[in-house]
Amino acid sequence: MFGRSISVLLVAGISLVLAVHASSQTQTTGRITGTVKDAQGAVIVGAQASVENPATGDRHSAVTDSSGTYSILQLPPATYVVNIRARGFSPAVFQDVAVGLAQTSKINASLTVAQSSVEITVNGAPPPVRSDSSALASTIDSRTLESLPLPTRNFLQLLTLAPGVTAPLTNNSAIGRNSPNVSVNGSRMTQNRYQINGVDANDISLHELTDVAVPAPESISEVNVETSLYDSSVAGAGGSVQVVTKGGSNFLHANVYEYFRNEAFNADDANLKAVGEGRPEMRRNVYGAALGGPLRKNKAFFFISYQGTREANGATDQSLYKSVLIAPGLTDDRSTATLMKIFGVPAIDPISLQLLNLKFPNGQFLIPTPQNAEGRV
């Protein structure tokens, strides 16, 4: 048997940086919080904390309250610079502060009394934590998505990196098919919730992601997988998968790629080799490109991604099944004496005997009787 599949995926997005963010962005953003104190440990009220995304020029600010605490909410996943200033104190600058999807980055500052024009710069910051949520979650960043091998070029294969997530193995005959289903902590595969940029992406009828076009790994910024103890905003008894795609920046970036597979690199199939057949044809080309940059500096940006697939796959389920070697001489007589004679053994294992005699409801044997002397079905 010979199977061909051609799939084309086009994902385009235009991201706009606005001064005010809608409340619906909560599921696709993170936040930065912290406490500002002086050298003696007393809280500083009215200190100004500002954050800036160097890639887009996006700026946000907040003022510490009576407890010296500040919170800057609804920040798109990115790397920020945090600047904390207070009257009469030397400012503090924190570089490379990472904000993840639905995560909180805590940046606490201890300011010293200003005696001269001194600015304290801290390179690096503690990793984001989820101190405001009991959910057990895992984050898959863009570097992981682009560096780990993906036979199907589908990010759903990497969900099994999260604890409690399992998925069926992918064989050659299923490479060009839809997205794989996953099970979270033993729940049904139809009980998961998928969101792409905050929008529900589940199939309406099946409640799966199998028939929905998904972004290419090169166009995804981050994937957040919640497997247990999540709040009531997650509708489903399984897991919650939240995907955020990449956006443009003030710098023009382009990426072109192609992945190629050929049966020459595959291992021989033992069953096919036993009946004198070679490796099934397997030609797969996955190619694409991504482009992002500014429409107007510090104001508007664009990001567009394209991925195409061309596949010629001879390893269909039916062809592999028909090539399974069955013992020559096996007949519809599956008695112990007959089987001992066919296999040339003094006894038959009881489990093997039951397996050889299993039948479908229509009366056909589960292990069929060979149709020729070579022992093929």
CATH number of 110's domain: 2.60.40.1120
- Domain stop point among 318, 348, 364: 318
C-alpha span between 160 and 373 (Å, rounded): 45
66 and 167 share a domain? Answer: no
236 torsion bin: left (phi>0), alpha (psi -120 to 50), beta (else): left
Residue 281's pLDDT is: 85
- The pLDDT > 90 percentage for the chain reads 34
Q: What is the pLDDT of residue 214?
A: 82
Residue 10: the pLDDT is 42
- Tell whether 281 and 365 lie within a shared domain: no
For residue 212, pLDDT over 60 is answered with yes
Q: What is the residue-averaged pLDDT of the chain? A: 80
Q: Residues 319-337: pLDDT tens digits? A: 555 545 556 678 889 999 9
Cβ proximity of 91 and 84 under 8 Å? yes
Both 43 and 117 in a single domain? yes
271 in a structural domain: yes
How many angstroms separate the CA atoms of 372 and 377, rounded? 8
Rounded to 5°, angle at Cα 294 from 60 and 304: 110
Q: Does 130 map to a domain?
A: no
Residue 200 pLDDT level (bands cut at 50, 70, 90): confident
90-148 tens-digit pLDDT: 999 999 999 988 888 999 999 988 876 566 676 666 666 666 666 788 889 999 998 88
What is the pLDDT, as a whole number, of residue 263? 87
Instruction: Say how many domains are in the chain.
Output: 3
Q: Does residue 289 register a pLDDT over 90?
A: yes
**How far is the CA of 152 from the CAs of 34, 91, 261, 319, in angstroms?**
42, 50, 11, 21
Q: Does the pLDDT value for residue 169 go beyond 80?
A: no
Q: What's residue 81's pLDDT? A: 95
| 29: confidence class by pLDDT, cuts 50, 70, 90 | confident
Instruction: Give the range of the structural domain holding residue 299, as residue numbers without chain letter.
Output: 3-13+138-318
**Is the confidence at residue 25, as pLDDT, over 80?**
no
What are the phi and psi torsion angles at 189 (to 5°)? -70, -15
- Which CATH number do you get for residue 207? 2.170.130.10
Tell me the mean pLDDT in the region 199-218.
78
